[in-house]
């Protein structure tokens, strides 16, 4: 019997970011955790645990990684395997806080639609910014998220703690996946996690940006399938 899988989605993203995996894993027990109903990382993590099976594989993207670290602090015995995609363990620095405040200002001035347009240059490498399929996915996910949920997610992210001090306590098989052209998280962010979690491994997806699950599913789906099943 295969391990149940829980997917944790990032900010301004929906189940659509997981669609290639959902298609490939149609015969498995897969749940996409709720990333809409809370405004703290702790709240997202507790909601996930309250609705999760007793033991599961956890696959987290971006903001989902912040939630995953909180899950590992609260209930490490329930997580059998951990995959982290395009995320980081530190709290926000001044530059990140300023960028997030800029997004909040856009929303509060009635320009929520502009938020995703501001993010496209950091979501995708330059050569993909005219890709109608990818742009359509990003814009639709933002529209489906909506302004109120986006603001709640921002509050959660801005208030998160620094997860680095306790990374060494993570004692389950851990896979990191990073797109080498990611404009939001860096190789250094992933190396920091890699060096801190015993036995972790990093897979770099050539040519991919912040959304490797939809940019390079032919790479990411087999990687995650092998990891969960291995």
The pLDDT value given to residue 147: 96
**Total domain count, the chain:** 1
Mean pLDDT, all residues of the chain:
96
Residue 165 predicted with pLDDT over 90? yes
Angle at 25 between CA 21 and CA 29, to 5 degrees: 120
60 part of a folded domain:
yes
- The pTM assigned to this predicted structure is 0.96
The pLDDT value given to residue 113: 94
Average of pLDDT values for 182-191? Answer: 97
Structural domain for 190, as ranges: 5-92+154-229
Q: pLDDT tens digits for 85-134?
A: 999 999 998 888 888 888 999 999 999 999 999 999 999 999 999 999 99
40 part of a folded domain:
yes
CATH code for the domain in which residue 172 is found: 3.40.50.1820
98 part of a folded domain:
no
Q: How far apart are CA 109 and CA 81, in angstroms?
A: 42
Average of pLDDT values for 198-218? Answer: 98
129 part of a folded domain:
no
The pLDDT value given to residue 137: 98
Residue 149 predicted with pLDDT over 80? yes
What percentage of the chain has pLDDT greater than the value 90? 93
Q: pLDDT tens digits for 18-67?
A: 999 999 999 999 999 999 999 999 999 999 999 999 999 999 999 999 99
100 part of a folded domain:
no
The pLDDT value given to residue 93: 86
The pLDDT value given to residue 99: 86
Under the banding of pLDDT at 50, 70 and 90, the label for residue 6 is very high
Angle at 26 between CA 23 and CA 28, to 5 degrees: 135
The pLDDT value given to residue 96: 86
Average of pLDDT values for 1-28? Answer: 96
74 part of a folded domain:
yes
Tokens of 185: 């998280």
The pLDDT value given to residue 218: 98
97 part of a folded domain:
no
The pLDDT value given to residue 95: 84
112 part of a folded domain:
no
């Amino acid at each position: 019997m295969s391990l149940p899988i829980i997917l944790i989605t990032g900010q301004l993203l929906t189940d659509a970011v997981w669609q290639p995996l959902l298609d490939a894993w149609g015969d498995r027990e897969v749940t996409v955790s709720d990333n809409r109903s809370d405004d703290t990382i702790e709240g997202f993590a507790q909601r996930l645990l309250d609705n999760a099976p007793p033991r599961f594989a956890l696959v987290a993207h971006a903001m989902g990684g912040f939630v995953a670290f909180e899950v590992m602090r609260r209930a490490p015995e329930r997580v059998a395997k951990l995959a982290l995609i395009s995320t980081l363990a530190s709290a926000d620095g001044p530059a990140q806080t300023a960028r997030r405040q800029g997004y909040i200002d856009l929303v509060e001035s009635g320009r929520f639609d502009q938020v995703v347009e501001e993010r496209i240059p950091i979501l995708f490498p330059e050569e993909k910014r005219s890709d109608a399929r990818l742009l359509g996915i990003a814009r639709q996910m933002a529209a489906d998220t909506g302004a109120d949920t986006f603001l709640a997610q921002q509050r959660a992210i801005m208030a998160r703690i620094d997860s680095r001090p306790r990374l060494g306590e993570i004692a389950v098989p851990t896979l990191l996946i990073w797109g080498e052209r990611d404009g939001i998280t860096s190789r250094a962010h992933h190396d920091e996690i890699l060096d801190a979690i015993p036995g972790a491994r990093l897979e770099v997806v050539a040519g991919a940006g912040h959304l490797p699950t939809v940019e390079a599913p032919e790479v990411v789906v087999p990687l995650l399938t092998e990891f969960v099943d291995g």
